[in-house]
Structures are given as structure tokens and as C-alpha cells.
């Protein structure tokens, strides 16, 4: 066996030829003179390695479901439906200026795309339109009904009343406003509020916030 203790340290060629080897490295004198291959036995080194013990089971990484805050989840949900509304109205992308000029609704769509992120009222309008549009497109009565529910919500009534109240309280602070236009503007808000009430019908004001709102505004709306 190669590398066993007591084995000759001569190169293999000298051992085979039974010649004395001068042990020169890397080529002994005999091999160098005869111009033949000279190889020495490799020195074997034994390394004592202790085998591993009983393998420990690898702990599986734990996965935690990330739950978005309610406000972020609702915002993502609303953005999804508004995006579907744009796809339904403009399946080929944003129309050219020439097409937009022929169909004024595209001017509204373009403006709504840019403004809805910063206006909750416009955002709510788009969500109502999206639900109703998708409901009609896919034959889902629930989505259509949900769209009308959003459009007719009590919050819309409160927002309309708030705009009228803002005009009544702070309308005179607008310096560029013409004389008498505050009264006219407030009157127009009342007309819009009255239109919302008539559109919803009397049954929607029997209870809840709607009834509370209606009870507060019916007196001044009688003179509109």
C-alpha cells in the first residue's frame, strides 16, 4: 500500500529499475539524466473526523399573515373597482384628442382620473358608477344594487347639506364674489338637496340618519 510506514522514499521509476535514487525533487538525478518521467508517491494524510450526531430537525420558518389596516384595505378595494370602471369605459386605453372632442364624456373621464384621488366626493361617485357598470356588464344584480346604495347613501345627503351650510356661513368671505351671488349659490345648493330627497323617495327617510337629516332640512326646503 502506498504511503505505508517503512516504504522506500525513492521515486517509482528508480524502484522499478532497482536503481539508487538521490531523492531530488521534483525530478531525481537518474530520471533527469535519462529524460524520463519521475513520480514520487503521494504522502497520505489521515484526518480523524468525528461523525455528526443525531440530526436535529430544521425549524420551519413561520409565516405570518399580514392584515392591512381597515383604511388601507378599503382604499385598495376602492381603487380596484375604479380601475375596472376605466377598463370598462375605455377598453382600448385613453382615447385620442380627436375622439375625446367628439364624445364629451371622455373629457369628464380624463378629469375624473386626475382628480378623484384628492376628493372623497368624486371618489364615492366613481365607486357607485363602477359597481353599477360592472353589475350591468356581468349581470350581477347585487353589484348594481350596491352602486345605487352608495349613490343614495346618507353621507351624500350630509355632504350636500354641508356644502350649503359652508356657502351660508363663509360665502361672503370670497372677495371676488359678486353682490347677491351668495344667496343665489345657497339657493342652488338647496335645489340640489331637494332633488336628492325626491330622487330617494319618502320610504328612505323613515328611520336612521336619513330621517334625522330630513327632519332638520324640510322646513327651509319648503320655500325652495
Residue 51 lies in a domain: no
Average pLDDT over residues 65-90: 72
**How much is the pLDDT for 1?**
42
Residue with the bigger pLDDT between 97 and 223: it is: 97
**How much is the pLDDT for 5?**
46
For 167-215, the pLDDT digits (tens) are 777 766 655 555 557 777 777 777 877 887 887 788 888 888 878 878 8
pLDDT at 54 over 80: no
Inter-residue contact 122 to 129 (CB < 8 Å): no
Inter-residue contact 135 to 145 (CB < 8 Å): yes
Distance (Å, whole) CA 146 – CA 148: 5
Residue with the bigger pLDDT between 7 and 136: it is: 136
Domain count along the chain: 3
pLDDT at 124 over 70: yes
pLDDT at 92 over 50: yes
pLDDT at 135 over 80: no
**How much is the pLDDT for 3?**
44
**How much is the pLDDT for 147?**
55
Inter-residue contact 11 to 21 (CB < 8 Å): yes
pLDDT at 166 over 80: no
- Structural domain boundaries, residue 92: 72-150
- Residue 124 and residue 184 share a domain: no
- Residue 144 and residue 76 share a domain: yes
- Residue 86 and residue 21 share a domain: no
- Residue 221 and residue 188 share a domain: yes
3-state secondary structure of 66: coil
- Residue 87 and residue 23 share a domain: no
Percentage of the residues of the chain whose pLDDT score is greater than 90:
0
Task: Pull the grid cell for residue 202.
Answer: 319618502
Residue 136 lies in a domain: yes
Residue 61 lies in a domain: no
Is the C-alpha dihedral spanning 125, 128, 133, 134 positive or negative? positive
Chain position carrying cell 378629469: 111
Amino acid at each position: 500500500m502506498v504511503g505505508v510506514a517503512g516504504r522506500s522514499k525513492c521515486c517509482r521509476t528508480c524502484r522499478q529499475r532497482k536503481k539508487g535514487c538521490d531523492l531530488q525533487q521534483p525530478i531525481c538525478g537518474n530520471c533527469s539524466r535519462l529524460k524520463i518521467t519521475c513520480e514520487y508517491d503521494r504522502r497520505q494524510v489521515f484526518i480523524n473526523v468525528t461523525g455528526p450526531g443525531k440530526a436535529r430537525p430544521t425549524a420551519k420558518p413561520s409565516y405570518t399573515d399580514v392584515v392591512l389596516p381597515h383604511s388601507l384595505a378599503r382604499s385598495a378595494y376602492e381603487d380596484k373597482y375604479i380601475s375596472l370602471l376605466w377598463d370598462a369605459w375605455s377598453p382600448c386605453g385613453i382615447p385620442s384628442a380627436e375622439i375625446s372632442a367628439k364624445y364629451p364624456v371622455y373629457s369628464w373621464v380624463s378629469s375624473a382620473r386626475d382628480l378623484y384621488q384628492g376628493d372623497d366626493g368624486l371618489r364615492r361617485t366613481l365607486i357607485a358608477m363602477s359597481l353599477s357598470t360592472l353589475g350591468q356588464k356581468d349581470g350581477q344584480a347585487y353589484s348594481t344594487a350596491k352602486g345605487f346604495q352608495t349613490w343614495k347613501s346618507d353621507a351624500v345627503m350630509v355632504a350636500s347639506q354641508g356644502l350649503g351650510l359652508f356657502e351660508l356661513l363663509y360665502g361672503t368671505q370670497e372677495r371676488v364674489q359678486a353682490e347677491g351671488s351668495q344667496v343665489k349659490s345657497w339657493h342652488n345648493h338647496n335645489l340640489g338637496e331637494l332633488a336628492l330627497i325626491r330622487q330617494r323617495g319618502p320610504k328612505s327617510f323613515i328611520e336612521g340618519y336619513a330621517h334625522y337629516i330630513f327632519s332638520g332640512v324640510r322646513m327651509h326646503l319648503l320655500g325652495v
